[in-house]
Structure 1
């Protein structure tokens, strides 16, 4: 009597011989099994379904990569134009006009302001807002209406990003405001706004040294 073959033996054999069905395609159509849903399906159909799912997953992943690349390219171009605009500015007033226009027109920011204060004025703002406005500080989030009313003239602003820069003896506040309370939640990556702040500081320092 021949030794019986169990399911594990068949599984091992097929794994060791992955090309077993290449010359036995007709056999595939005869192999049926039940899915969890109870519907009968041939092994070939299941393989095709799996391949299609993998294909769709790869297409979705590729599409995501392409879309992200387009977004990054768009941000790079806008950032480059913003940087060039700052470098072409003739004085601090020109820089203020350029930066406010660029952010509103090209970055979809509801409100952008760049204002300069002396130390005593900054101390007053710090006391009223409870924000530390030292050199290099960046604050973002959905602040209280009381704080926002001190920082912005527009009463509809609900969230904001504030970057602090130094210009000689002046302290500058680069402020981006949104009417959307969820726009700036406080957990954003601040790398971009820090980059813009650094470019502003460098250009302002250059202008000051030429005066």
Structure 2
């Protein structure tokens, strides 16, 4: 007679994994094995297996629906971004480009405010972009500009003040402006919500837009 102590649960699990057709050769065991259902009633192993399969199918469907929703959202964002880029390409003046950029992003991309900060020529009253010297920008945003790595999150008060002055912003998304002329800048998107631009937010579209702006700005350099 075999002592039950000779086999651990791990041994049995390992054996069944190595012999997935075990119950096909011993069908009578399925009738004798019962498991506790969520309702508290005892059910057969086959019923339990079907229950697990149905739950896994529901989980897979939920995941698939999430992927589809993300893909549809990205498609909509891409079309909006494409329309915005086409308008920017037609601009002949820096202020015109800044105006279209601000209007397009606020109206179509769930952004509360937009700031284009450049190390180009000094801005004047009425200009829709903000001037900041190159040294300050490189010091304040080293990873964003030098590595051209867009960044999202809740930044310190100094950063928020530099970009948006006294306008309260909860979270920011920053894209790097780096022109062939050597001039640099920041495309800053601001949200009043602390949770809107999180550190894990996808920045692919922002980086693409910042690259487009970098190329277009060379035509406006002195």
TM (normalized to structure 1)?
0.70
Aligned residue in 2 for 1:15: 21
**Is 1:178 matched with 2:191?**
yes
Q: Name the CA shift for 1:42/1:198 in 2 (closer, same or farther; >3 Å).
A: same
Cα offsets for 1:108-154 (capped at 9, x unmatched): 11101224344896349828x95046564655432222432232135
**Other structure's SS at 1:105 match:** helix
Cα offsets for 1:31-75 (capped at 9, x unmatched): 442439874212332232122122212222221221122122122
Cα offsets for 1:3-31 (capped at 9, x unmatched): x9x9x8xx79982673876xxxxx69944
Higher mean alpha-carbon deviation, 160-169 vs 148-157, is at 160-169
* 5+ residue gaps, structure 2: 5-11, 123-130
Contact 1:28 1:44 in 2 (8 A): no
Higher mean alpha-carbon deviation, 170-179 vs 137-146, is at 137-146
**Is 1:163 matched with 2:175?**
yes
Cα offsets for 1:159-181 (capped at 9, x unmatched): 22333425657544321112122
| Aligned partner of 1:94 among 78, 96, 99 | 96
Cα offsets for 1:81-114 (capped at 9, x unmatched): 2221212223222111111111101111110122
Q: Name the CA shift for 1:61/1:162 in 2 (closer, same or farther; >3 Å).
A: closer
| Aligned partner of 1:79 among 75, 78, 81 | 81
* 5+ residue gaps, structure 1: 22-26
**Is 1:126 matched with 2:127?**
no
Aligned residue in 1 for 2:164: 152
- In 2: Cα distance, 1:17 partner to 1:144 partner: 62
- In 1: Cα distance, 2:140 partner to 2:92 partner: 31
- In 1: Cα distance, 2:82 partner to 2:51 partner: 46
| Aligned partner of 1:143 among 155, 161, 173 | 155
- In 2: Cα distance, 1:88 partner to 1:19 partner: 74
Matched length: 198
Name which one, 1 or 2, has greater alpha-carbon Rg.
Answer: 1
TM (normalized to structure 2)?
0.67
**Other structure's SS at 1:59 match:** helix
Superposed CA RMSD in Å reads 4.0
- In 2: Cα distance, 1:143 partner to 1:39 partner: 54
The equivalences for 1:9-88 within 5 A come to: 15=21, 18=24, 30-35=31-36, 39-88=41-90
